[in-house]
Each structure stands twice: as C-alpha cells, then as structure tokens.
A = this chain, B = another copy of it.
Amino acid sequence: MVPHLATALTGPINELEQRMLESMPAIERWFRLEWMEHTPPFYASVAVHNAGFKLTPVDTHLFPDGWNHLAPETQQLAVQAAMAAIEKICPEAKNLLLIPKNDTRDPAYQANLARLARIFNLAGLNVRLGSLSPEVNVPVGLALASGERLELEPLLRTPRRLGLKYFDPCTILLNTDLKQGIPGMLEDLSEQYLLPPLHAAWPTRRQHRHFEIYEEVAKRLAKLLGMDVWLIHPASAVCSAADLSAPEGIESLQTQVDAILTKTRRKYKEYGINEKPFAVIKSNQGPAQTDAWTVRDAKDIPVLMAQQSLPHPSDCLVQEGVLTQERIQEAIAEPQVYLMDRYVVGGYYRVHSTVNDQQQFVPLAFDQQAQLPQLGVQPGSSAPNRFYMYGVMARLAVLAASYELEATDPDAEIYD
C-alpha cells in the first residue's frame, strides 16, 4: 500500500509505470512476504529518480531529516506507522529519547525535530530531546519559527543506560547519521533499544554494499514483473583502491567510468533512447546528496578533480546517472519518499530552482481526485496512483537496506 499522493506527473502513463500499476497485488504480496523474513529499518527516506523510461532510487537515508516537508494531512499515516513500529520493537515503551544532530541551528532542521517529536508524541510516547553536543551542558530552549518550543537537554550516561535528568527512556531514536564517528556515550547500551542501530550509520555503511544488495532484490522484483532489471536499477561499480592523488588511481577510476558509460550506451541503444549517458562519482562512505561528480566522458575526470574534491577520494562509487524528468515550473523536481517501518507515509519534491540555484521543498498532498468515486468503474480500479511507483522503488531500496543491516549486524548470530 502506497498512499495516493498528487504527483507533478501529467503525461501519459508509460509502459514501466503501467506494469507496476497492473501488478500491484503481486507487488504488495511480494513485499509482505519479504517483511516476514526481514526487519525494515525503523525509518527512512529515499530519493528516487524517474527518467521516464527508467526509475531508480539514488539515495537511501536511514537517519532521515526533512520530516517537516511532508504535508500536514499525511501526518496521521506516520503516527499510525510509528505506533506499529514501536509495538513490535518495544511495546512497553513510555518514554522516547530523540537524539538530534549536534548542530541544531538550522531552522528547517529544528522544524524537522518538532515534527518527529510530534509524531511520536501522538503515537503515545513521552518524547524528550537529548543532545550529544559537548556544548549542551544545561537545558537549552530552541524557539522555532513556527512559534513552537523545543528543549535540548544534556545526556546522562550511567554504566548501562542513557537518559536525561528524571527521564529514563526505553527507546532512543537517533536523528543523526553519526558521520563523524560513533560517540562512546552510545556504545554498549544493551538494556535500551537504540534505533536505528549503530551499524546503520556511515562509519559502517557503504554505498556500494547498498547498491549490490539493491541489485539482487531488484532482480527478483523485475523477474516477478517480467521485465529487465536495468529499468529499475542503476549500473554501479565500486572503486575502492582508487586513490586520486596517484596517476594509477585516476586511471582505474577512468576505466570504471568508461565501463559504466559503455554499458549505459548499449542499453540506451537497445531501448532506442536518444540521450547522452552520464556517470556519477560519489563517496562510498556517506550520503550521495553532496559532493558528487557528474561525468559524461572519462577524460574529463582530471579537470573535475581540479575543481572539486571528493570527501573520500580513495573509496568511491561510480554509478550510471539517471535523470529525473519531473518538473515543477520548469525546475527539476526529485521525489523524496518517507517510510516509517514498512509503510510509505508521505513524500515531497526537492526542487532545484534554475533561477537562483536554491532548493525548495514541495510537500506531496493527498490526491483529492483519488478520493472521489470514478464513474462506471469498479471501486478502486481507476484513478491510477502515480505516486505508487515511487512507493515501490522506495520500499525496494529500504528492503535492500534491511538485508544490508542484517549483513553488517555485529550481534548477528552465525549459523553454520
């Protein structure tokens, strides 16, 4: 089930989208069976690129911010899903400790925290915020632009538990991806539920592992739908040894890029796509959003290197670039899909304005048309949900993440 949200898509439904819509009961059943065997990440956001002929997730966040950009009317979906998630993990929960990023000055991030606190409060929990920042020694009030107030409190660590003064949570929710490393304060908390687990953070995660597993699950879904997996998967290659300070490193990266571009060119020819392929080079050890390189020719790499540096030049992912065809007032609109547990609970477009190079966030509201009965049709069989395919892609990425977390779980039991 994917909520019927109004997308910016207005053109005809192409073959790929049509196949997903037609196969809805089979797809839903497939996901249900997968979730019987695998535990979804607690929450996630997934950026999806829709090139029309091809549809893929490009980034899977397991510590998502941006909840404030979701349409207010969709909030109850998140609350209901949060209730289901809490019930499975910790039914006796009463108190939830929310740990934000250390830097909470950004008003948008503050609004995100307020929205998250509200969701879990409405799900029936006492929510308080504890800061990992060494600068927060006493409670600090944040006055939000909306008029709300948040209070950040210093964390209190005892040998076995983490909490606040007079607040002992059974569940701790991280809203920071701990890019800078795992603070000792979060380690060895075996009595409390730490969500998501520490191995979901970037010190452990690798983009290439995510996309390798994604390819496997995408192949199975493609088989179910009787279609080429390439239509829902971006060709990817890891380039771990490539230290870009050495000529051999650059050469090896160029070889990878060439291989991806050649593969893509062949596919474009096969499908009669009249576009110029491109590749994306991004850090293997962090979110893809920032600092990625776009390459149309492997020869351009030295030039790009001179202009911009990658955060982990010795560990990067080379990936087939997938355009996004959606536009809002001529600006590129990238769908962001939000999940709580296995449920798609909302989304928004991240819009890159071509005028001022700024980002805007356009919440996806319920499709009003979809709530009206359709003339002369069986109920539910009409008014195609054009957000559906984004929900499928996002869940496929999140399913890959669940396999990924199983593979990297340090506490996993090993069966021979």
Contact = CB atoms under 8 A, between A and B. Distances in A.
Interface of A: 1, 3-4, 24-29, 32-33, 35-36, 72-77, 79-84, 86-87, 91-95, 114-115, 117-127, 144, 146-151, 343, 366, 371-381, 385
Given A75-B371, A79-B1, A115-B379, A26 B94 contact: yes
Contacts of A72: 371-372
Contacts of A84: 84
Contact of A32 (B87, B127, B147): B87
A376 B73 contact: no
A387 to B, nearest CB: 11
A150 B86 contact: no
A86 B122 CA distance: 24
B124 A374 contact: no
Contact of A3 (B29, B76, B127, B144): B76
B25 A149 contact: no
Given A28-B124, A35-B87, A376 B149 contact: yes
Contacts of A374: 147-148
A76 B117 CA distance: 22
B4 A122 contact: yes
Contacts of A147: 373-376
Given A1-B79, A32-B124, 9 more contacts: A3-B76, A25-B126, A28-B83, A29-B94, A32-B87, A74-B76, A114-B373, A120-B380, A150-B379
